[in-house]
Every structure is written in C-alpha cells, then in structure tokens.
A and B are shown apart, each in its own frame.
Chain A
Amino acid sequence: MSSDDQGILWEVFIQVKAGRPYKHIGSLHAYDKEMAMKSARDLYTRRNEGNGIWIVKAEDIISSEASDGEAFFDPSNDKVYRHPTFYKIPDGVKHI
C-alpha cells in the first residue's frame, strides 16, 4: 500500500444535552485535532444530536481485554455489602 493514507483514527463522544454523560458515537479519520473536530461536527451532529463533542485518538484509549473478563470483574461479586440491599433496617424506618 502507498503512503497515501486517510489519517489517524479518532473516537468521537457526544453529549446529547447539558448535564448528560458523553457517549461514544463512532469514529473518524483526520490528520489533526482541528480537522477531527470539524469532521465530527459534520458527521455526527447533522441533526442536533449533540451539545458537546469529545474526541480522542483511538490509540490513546486504554481498554480492558475481553479475555480478562472473569478475572477482572468477578471479584466485585463477593462484595455484596457494597449494595444497599445487604443491610437490615428495622420495620417502620423511612427515607433511608
């Protein structure tokens, strides 16, 4: 393949409304930050979908491995005391 490439891969996150979390919407190719931002606006917010955009280089994202699944997340299962339903509250006590 030639050196004629499509630029760096970026991942795009959109905030739908003020106060809401940013959610992953997709990715795009661009050569720099400015171009990534302009493309993200054209590509992912043509219909008022967003109020804010976050963009990050795909290679900078750290993610868990699918193969780690059990070893990584199972330990939280034996800490039932992290859930409110673990605790006994006498009858008649309200707002707790």
Chain B
Amino acid sequence: MENEKKLEQFQGKIDANIKIEPKDWMPEKYRQTLIRQISQHAHSEIIGMQPEGNWLTRAPSLRAKKILMAKIQDEAGHGLYLYCAAETLGVKREQFLEWLHEGKAKYSSVFNYPTLTWADMGAVGWLVDGAAIVNQVSLQGTSYGPYARAMVKICMEESFHQRQGFEIMVELAKGTKEQKQMAQDALNRWWWPSIMMFGPHDSESAHSNQSLKWKIKRASNDELRQSYIDKTIEQGHHLGLTFPDPNLKFNETTKHYDYSPIDWDEFWNVVKGNGAGNKLRLKHHIKAHEDGKWVREAAKSYSKKMNLSKKIA
C-alpha cells in the first residue's frame, strides 16, 4: 500500500519532468533498467575504442592520427562518465566489469563488425557516431539526473566525432576511383549495422513501453531510427555515394524516407555472440584488464605506503 503511494508520487515527478536523483525513492524495476542500460552504454563506449584502435598505427597522416587518438581518448572518457552515473545506482565499478567479462552484460553489437579499411574510420564516425548522437541527444532528457548530465557532456564532445568521420568520407569520395570505391564499400558495410543500432522495432521491443512511461527513453526505437535515416540520406547524396538499399525513397505522404525491411536474423545472430568480432573484442578487453592488474596493485600499495609514512612522521 505504501509502495503504491510512493509509486504514484514517483510517476508524478516523472510526469512533471522532475529529475530523479540517486537518493530518491525509485521502483526497483526503474533502478534495474537503468543499471542495465547505462552500464551497457558505458561498455559500448569502451569496447568501441577497439575497432578504431585498429587503425591508429596505420592512419594515413600525422593529422589523421592525432585526431583518431583524441577521438579514442574521448570514447574512454565517455565510458567513464557513464560508469560513474551507473555506480550511483548502488553497483560497484568492479561488478560492472565482472558482468561484462562473464558475458552477462552486453555492449552495442555494432562494435562486433570489423574495420577493414581506412574508409571504415570515415564510415564509423559518420554513421555509427551519427546514429549514437541521435540516440544520445534524445537521452539528454532522460529522467535519471546523473545519466542526463553525463549525456549532456557526451553530446557536447561527440559532435566532432561525426564531423571528422564525414570529412574522411568527403576526401575519399572526391579522390581517385579506388578511393571512391573504398568509401562506397565502407558505406555498404556499415549502413545496415548503423540502422540496427536503434534496436528492435517498437512492436518487438521488450522494455520500450515502461521505459517511455518512466522517461528513461524519450523517443521510441523506430522514431529515433527514422530521424537518423532522414538526416543521413541527404548527407550521403552530398558525397555522391549510394546507399545499399534499393527501396530507399522519400515518401511524400509521411515526409520521411521509406526503407527495406531490416534483416533481424543478422541482428540477433550478432547480439547472441556470433558476429565477426564478439570473441575478439571481449578477449581483448579481458586481457587489457588483466595486464593492468599490476599497475592497480602498485598504485594501491604506493598509496598505502604514503599514508603509513605520513602517520609515522
């Protein structure tokens, strides 16, 4: 009975757009949904460093290398902002990493696709970051305070990511025949995975309705996907490249672009761990974590030693 009253007050706050803060009462399911969603988001930022790290040593110029390095550093930062937000829900950082390593926590499936050529750095920045931005801009209005604040900061930093990706595409698209082909090939491979980043259709999405009611999500998967497609098609035409979808056309009635049915078998196959990179990405993360163990231990002993010597003095 008391819970019902609390739930009603909670929904009242949500409806009045009052942010929920860590110490406020919240339904257990709200907390669990946020723990899952924010940590998954954090893991995505961190795992997302890998496909880009793949090209760091082979970037075609010093300028390109500096930019890529700054972008990867940003992704690390974004992962950390999000882990901090997730931790305010009462789960420790170590636990999040353990869940990731045990395969209990997921990250965005898009990072399980390989980055085969330099043009992929362009396509990832333009399309994958572009899709992420559409989602993240919407999440700036999420109802959980720490998550919303992390999103605002991330969105401010992220816009350079998409622009640098597009710049790579522009350069390749107006380069030699081979370079243009390389850009086209990257677009062909990344287009559908980027569309799938928004998740299942609204009719199939398990958590969507409750999340919208609690304003954890501010727009549905399909609304966000459509907004991304509409924006991106025009940018692609500017490049003089074509999208790998024969049914892509502007619908005068809906004022949106129509697109072909999405291959959900592929989506679920990658989610379930059978993508090109799933095993590699996780293995690499675990190795990096284990390789860093001695650093954490040394830093911890050093801090203990310094505290001790202060006490003696």
Which residues of A come within 8 Å of B, CB atoms?
A: 1, 4-7, 9, 25-29, 31-32, 35, 42-43, 46-47, 63, 65-67
Contacts and interface: CB of A to CB of B under 8 A. Distances in A.
Given A47-B157, A66-B21, A66-B24, A35 B293 contact: no
Interface residues of B, number: 28
A63 B22 CA distance: 12
Contacts of A32: 299, 302-303, 306
B87 A9 contact: yes
Contacts of B25: 66-67
A29 B293 CA distance: 15
B186 interface: no
B296 interface: yes
Interface string B6-26: 000000000000000101110
A27 B74 contact: no
Contacts of A31: 296, 299-300, 302-303
A13 to B, nearest CB: 13
**B interface majority secondary structure:** helix
A42 B70 CA distance: 11
Contact of A63 (B23, B87, B94): B23
A6 to B, nearest CB: 5
Interface stretch (B33-41, B77-85, B209-217, B265-273): B77-85
A28 B74 CA distance: 15
B93 A4 contact: no
A27 B84 contact: yes
A26 B293 contact: no
A65 B23 contact: yes
Nearest to B306: A32
Most chain B CB within 10 A, of A7, A26, A43, A47, is at A26
B61 interface: no
A46 B93 contact: no
Contacts of A47: 157
Contact of A43 (B23, B80, B149, B300): B80
Nearest to B293: A4
Given A43-B77, A43-B80, A66-B25, A7 B299 contact: yes
Interface in B53-109: 73-74, 77, 80-81, 84, 87, 92-95, 98
Contacts of B303: 31-32, 35
30 contacts: A1-B92, A1-B94, A1-B98, A4-B293, A4-B296, A5-B94, A5-B296, A5-B300, A6-B94, A7-B299, A26-B81, A26-B84, A26-B150, A26-B153, A27-B84, A27-B87, A28-B80, A28-B84, A31-B299, A31-B303, A32-B302, A35-B303, A42-B77, A43-B77, A46-B74, A46-B77, A46-B157, A66-B24, A66-B25, A67-B25
Interface in B269-313: 293, 296-297, 299-300, 302-303, 306
Q: Which 4 A-B pairs have the closest CB atoms?
A: A32-B303, A31-B299, A31-B303, A66-B23
A4 B302 CA distance: 15
A33 to B, nearest CB: 9
Contacts of B73: 42, 46
Given A1-B95, A26-B84, A7 B21 contact: no
A31 to B, nearest CB: 4
Nearest to A35: B299
A35 B153 CA distance: 22
Contacts of B150: 26
B285 to A, nearest CB: 15
A14 to B, nearest CB: 11
A55 to B, nearest CB: 13
